[in-house]
Structure 1
Amino acid sequence: MSKDILKDIKGAIIDLDGTILDSAWVWDKVDEEFLGARGFDVPEHYVETISPMGAEKAAIYTREEFGLHNESVEEIVAEWFEMAKKEYRDDIVCKPFTKEYIKFLYDNNVRLSVATSSDRELFIPTLKREGILGYFSEIVTVDDVPAGKHSPDIYLECARRMGVAPSECAVFEDILTAVKSAKEGCFITVGVMDKKSLHNREKIEEIADLYIESFKDIL
């Protein structure tokens, strides 16, 4: 489908990690170091499984999956955050043409919100440093809604806060689970290419209303 599908949108809901932030490498490193220190390799579908979850639910899953019963959920989350904090503060940047597209939407009076499984403690410094925090009127994380990105809840909450109907709002996501959920919520869905989700590219392209390699494709 053509990018014309985005011509009349009144709202845009944008994921962070893998969609506008080039951050997959950080979580690959965290997963490898965290599990490696406990004698485990990263299983094939581990990242795909925990990506739609918030930190707490991902820690609960990890604790049960690897039998880490001598570690609390709070301790696991704290260790992950400590491992990732410096990279979010100093090193993670926006993907090419992301900032230009966000500014384009803002300048054309499109309401903007963030929908993320990440934690404010991590991503707020990144968005500030990259100069795009002020463009977003709303920031919603999976901790603000009953379910993670396996459900449309987070996108519906963003739309509600922006005062925009789902049918007039585009959701930009890089993972299959999230694209499916946005579609279930009756949003216009845009799949965004990211290396970590290339194995699901064909399925994402089938479901999404539009698939882009880069935000340059829709500028």
Structure 2
Amino acid sequence: MLKDIDAVIFDLDGTLIDSMWLWKNIDIEYLARFGIEFPEDLQRCIEGMSFSETAVYFKQRFNLPDSLEKIKSDWNQMAWDKYLYEVPLKEGVKEFLDYLKELKLPLGIATSNSRELVELVLNKHNISGYFSSIRTSCEVDRGKPYPDIYLLVAKDLGVKPEKCLVFEDVIQGVIAGKSANMKVCAVYDDYSKSDDEEKKKLADYYIRSMKELLP
């Protein structure tokens, strides 16, 4: 998998950390504040969107009175303690990062999450030092499934897109990596397990755990 690869780029939620489960709970609780029932298609509609794009979507779809900044601030607040105390690294992540460090491969993160939560969780697990580039989709024009975020991180790392390997857990992210002309390894996550067959078709590789990649 690492043959002819000069850099590795990771998605964050569902790929490096086990956090996808908590966002549905936050959305249910958040919408309830406005007396709005959680629509079952919501997670699918917002998958891959940046934090800012998701706020715009919520404001428009649910006709929310709050500003975009207030919406995002409320989400950060609601997720803060969960990210601090309830979100673990996924199996084999730390060991795999150590292995890539030994190989001297530059590493990056391309995430749809907010900068605040990204920094919180990376610092909590002491892994921010592994990454030469950490970017959020709010820093590009379009979130996943568009390739913008992956191309930006590759540019930061000084590596051609076709020499990058991407790790992603959701379909929109896999499509984003492939659209950037990168090799993509789909990662199992309980939250998106119903999409596994589709992820396997779209990606170059598939793993259940990063432990599988250790020598």
| TM-score normalised to structure 1 length | 0.93
Residue 16 of structure 1, aligned match among 8, 12, 18: 12
Q: Secondary structure at the match of 1:203?
A: helix
Say whether residues 1:61 and 2:36 are aligned partners. Answer: no
Q: Deviations over 1:135-171 (max 9, x none)?
A: 0010111111111012111111111111111221101
Segments of 4+ moved more than 4 angstroms: none
Q: Which residue does 1:28 correspond to in 2?
A: 24
Q: Which residue does 2:184 correspond to in 1?
A: 189
Q: Secondary structure at the match of 2:101?
A: helix
**Which stretch of structure 1 is more off in the superposition, 22-31 or 93-102?**
22-31
Task: Give yes or no for contact 2:21–2:191 (8 Å, CA) kept in 1.
Answer: no
Q: Which residue does 2:72 correspond to in 1?
A: 77
Residue 97 of structure 1, aligned match among 76, 92, 100: 92
Say whether residues 1:141 and 2:140 are aligned partners. Answer: no
Say whether residues 1:218 and 2:209 are aligned partners. Answer: no
Q: Deviations over 1:4-60 (max 9, x none)?
A: x22342100101011111111221221111112323332223113223122221011
Residue 40 of structure 1, aligned match among 9, 31, 36: 36
**Which stretch of structure 1 is more off in the superposition, 87-96 or 76-85?**
87-96
CA distance in 1, matches of 2:29, 2:115: 23
Map 1:194-209 to 2 at 5 A: 194-209=189-204
Say whether residues 1:163 and 2:158 are aligned partners. Answer: yes
Residue 180 of structure 1, aligned match among 175, 181, 184: 175
Question: Where does structure 2 lack aligned partners over 5 or more consecutive residues?
Answer: none
Task: Give yes or no for contact 2:51–2:137 (8 Å, CA) kept in 1.
Answer: no
What is the deviation of 1:180?
A: 1.0
CA distance in 2, matches of 1:104, 1:43: 42
Task: Give yes or no for contact 1:140–1:158 (8 Å, CA) kept in 2.
Answer: yes
What is the deviation of 1:114?
A: 0.5
CA distance in 2, matches of 1:46, 1:169: 31
Task: Report percent identity of matched pairs.
Answer: 38
Q: Which residue does 2:125 correspond to in 1?
A: 130
One-letter code of the match for 2:127?
I
Q: Secondary structure at the match of 2:25?
A: helix
One-letter code of the match for 2:154?
A
Q: Secondary structure at the match of 2:150?
A: helix
Q: State the Cα RMSD in Å.
A: 1.4
Question: Where does structure 1 lack aligned partners over 5 or more consecutive residues?
Answer: none
- Count of aligned residue pairs for this structure pair: 214
